[in-house]
Amino acid sequence: MSPLITSAELAELAALDGASVLDVRFRLGGPPGIGLYDEGHIPGAVYCDVDTDLAAPPGRLGRHPLPSAEDFQRAMRRLGVSGNRPVVVYDDAGGMSAARAWWALRYFGHQDVRVLDGGLAAWAGPLSKERPQVAEGDFTAVPGGMPLLDADEAAALATRGVLLDARAAERYRGEVEPVDPVAGHVPGAVSAPTTENVSADGTFLAAAELRRRFAALGVTDGVEAGAYCGSGVTAAHEVLALEIAGLPAALYVGSWSNWVADPARPVATG
């Protein structure tokens, strides 16, 4: 099953009340996405907060560490997520934050999660300003559904496989660092800005195009791959793009914000 869903396919599911829909709009360093949600969202969608529903509190493990299974399960049940009911996630930024919800649900064992391709802009139906009352879900979080990396494993992968840096190229090179205290990248990592996974309209490139893109970066069938970004949000988008291309990859959830929390870890620039 494709990890993506079209607006028409979502409309069919919605007409049958056949899915839980999560609005995962997010602005790094900006106001919470709930304000955008209240201005208008897909009818029936509930707001999923990247900072509190999809991550543990920030600290040495990163700005968006992996939440505990108990906390994630509690959050998803509150949002109406059940184990036997499909989940559709969307945002308004080409899937950049929705992919974190997709990855987290998959990591904690949900088998049917899809991202609305093109996000809110692709939705052809009306929008709603009402916050729906959803029944509590029964989702049970079981870790291990997707491959995961810590700092040491990411460093090792950069030497034996391909570790992709999903941030903007200038952040990878260490020319600018608007968020974290140290600029640069994990030694051996390859620059692969996640913005290049989507077209101008915010929809993902076709699987064949993505395979060509990742092949040029060294990721082909049989090559071990992983991805990181600043805090494990947009890197989930890289993992999603790789999945669309048929190339499995691990996520370094702590990402750069966790890497630079230890001053003993090496930093590369250029």
Length of the chain: 270
Residue 1 CB contacts under 8 Å (≥ 6 apart), including other chains: 112, 114
CB-based contact 257:180 (threshold 8 Å):
yes
Active-site residue among 99, 186, 229, 240? 229
Residue 72 CB contacts under 8 Å (≥ 6 apart), including other chains: 53, 54, 104, 108, 141
φ, ψ at 125 (rounded to 5°)? -90, -175
How far is it, in rounded angstroms, from Cα 264 to Cα 260?
8
Pairing mode, if any, of strands 46-47 and 20-23?
Answer: parallel
Strands (DSSP E) along the chain, which ranges? 4-5, 20-23, 46-47, 87-90, 113-116, 148-149, 162-165, 190-191, 225-228, 250-252
Q: Is 48 a catalytic residue?
A: no
DSSP state of 218: T
Specify which residues 165 forms β-bridges with.
191, 228
CB-based contact 243:3 (threshold 8 Å):
yes
Give Cα 10 to chain centroid, integer Å.
19
- CA dihedral sign of residues 57, 60, 66, 70: negative
Q: Which residues are catalytic?
A: 229
